[in-house]
Amino acid sequence: MSQSERFDAAVIGGGPAGASAAIMLAKAGKRVVLFERSRFPRFQIGESLLPACWEIWRRLGVTEKIEAEGFTVKQGANFGMFNQKPDVLLLTGEFPGYFERPYTYHVERARFDEILLEHAAECGVDVRREWSVADVLFDGKQAIGVSAGPNDSDPAPIQASVVIDASGRESLIARKLNWRRPLPELNKIAHFAHFKGGFRRDPHGFINFGEVIDGSVTTDIHTIDGGWVWYIPLRDNITSVGAVLDTRFAKSLGDSPQQRFEAAIESCECVRDWLVGAEQAMDIKTISSIGYMNERFHGDGFLLVGDASMFVDPVFSAGVTLAMRSGVFAADAVLDGFANGNDFSAEYLSHYETRIREPMGRIFQMIYNWYRILEQKDANNIILRSRQSPMLRERFIVLLSGGYDKVSMQQILEAAEEPESTYLIS
């Protein structure tokens, strides 16, 4: 391999954020190399998507491929709050005017991520699978490329006008620059696994505000002491089940991930009953210290996207949507830099960070509010009140669907005090 290799952009990581950034740059005619350390397909968590993805997929040019895959259709979310009945069922089809389509998918990430990476290669990205990036190269404060090579070989320098870090929770650049900051208020741990079998609702039992799609499902979220449980039906009779717990509380449930997971599920009557007869299909997997935020998402010649920039909590299924959106926004910023005389200075790239931090801030507000509800066991919380207030319900559904640029948490809190039938869309 020649040391003189040079690209317009080097992307570290082939997940949704990295693939999205690479696709957009390649479609604009830029020479892009993407390094992915893992062998695809590979298991990944983050299986519940949001309707806001449709706009992103259209920009990427990948909509037809995702539709053709036959993923399980997701029509909304169901919240089980403190064993109060009925549950709070929020269907995205109730208010269909906000997004290109009023539904989305539950996906097996192994296949979903492969679709995006294959599409990147078809768009002209030089996709290097099973390649590791050992370091990001700097000239002073300016990123000038990476040191990378096949997993079983020594790395070599590869030059790039701009580096996009999509390395996930490893946050390669942020760790190098000591930008990584934990979020102690969100000191959570997740234990999760796939099951063969598990309960499936008849979608025709949904409150029918719109079209009911045969075989469609919801993401189920149920509160328990010390946290909450997710239940995500996938295709081929596979169910993703996980428990997100306060780290200190989790330790009281047992010494091993399996013990903690079983104790959490046993405390969730609904999910426990749904798994009767189901078979655990993998060892329990764990993610600890879930929440973190980097000091900055950009610098001279580089941008951080997806989980390489931050991750808060999986409760509202925002991770993949935000990751793809950040990848697209990063590509927009880089293309602006090329159009502005190859200006990739931190000052010029700062509009990327401004653009991505606002929706992230709204997610933060939602999640902090969620855990405040759980800690206080608030029986009069905004989720339960959404059953009575159409305006609150509408705003909550729009935000939960990924409409972070359409509704703010402040508007939701205002609607919680305003139960009249007032709608954002007539």
How many angstroms separate the first and last alpha carbons of the chain?
61
- Within a domain: residue 359? yes
pLDDT computed for residue 34 by the predictor: 99
Report residue 202's pLDDT band, with 50, 70 and 90 as the boundaries. Answer: confident
- Which residues make Cβ contacts (< 8 Å) with residue 255, sequence separation at least 6? none
Prior bond to 41 cis, omega within 30? yes
Domain final residue pick, 235, 265, 287: 287
Please tell me which residue, 207 or 117, carries the higher pLDDT value: 117
pLDDT computed for residue 179 by the predictor: 97
How buried is 103 (Cβ within 10 angstroms: 0-12 exposed, 13-18 middle, 19+ buried)? buried
How is residue 71 annotated by DSSP? P
pLDDT computed for residue 168 by the predictor: 96
Structural domain that includes position 414: 380-426
Closest CA to 374 of 79, 85, 89: 79
The domain that holds 222 is classified in CATH as 3.30.9.100
Range 285-297 average pLDDT? 94
Judgement on whether residues 202 and 265 belong to the same structural domain of the protein: yes
Domain final residue pick, 287, 313, 347: 287
Q: pLDDT by residue (tens digit) across 355-399?
A: 999 888 888 888 998 999 999 988 778 888 888 888 999 998 999
Q: Kindly provide the residue ranges of all beta strands, DSSP E only, lying in 247-347, ordered along the sequence.
A: 279-280, 285-287, 292-294, 298-299, 302-304, 310-311
Beta strands 88-91; 227-233: pairing state: unpaired
Judgement on whether residues 164 and 192 belong to the same structural domain of the protein: no
pLDDT computed for residue 296 by the predictor: 97
Calpha distance 303→241 (Å, rounded) = 33
Rg (CA), the chain: 22
Number of domains in the chain: 3
Calpha distance 150→260 (Å, rounded) = 38
How buried is 225 (Cβ within 10 angstroms: 0-12 exposed, 13-18 middle, 19+ buried)? middle
Domain final residue pick, 272, 287, 302: 287
Q: pLDDT by residue (tens digit) across 230-239?
A: 999 999 999 9
Asked if residue 275 lies in contact with residue 195, where contact means CB atoms within 8 angstroms, the answer is: yes
Closest CA to 32 of 317, 311, 293, 338: 338
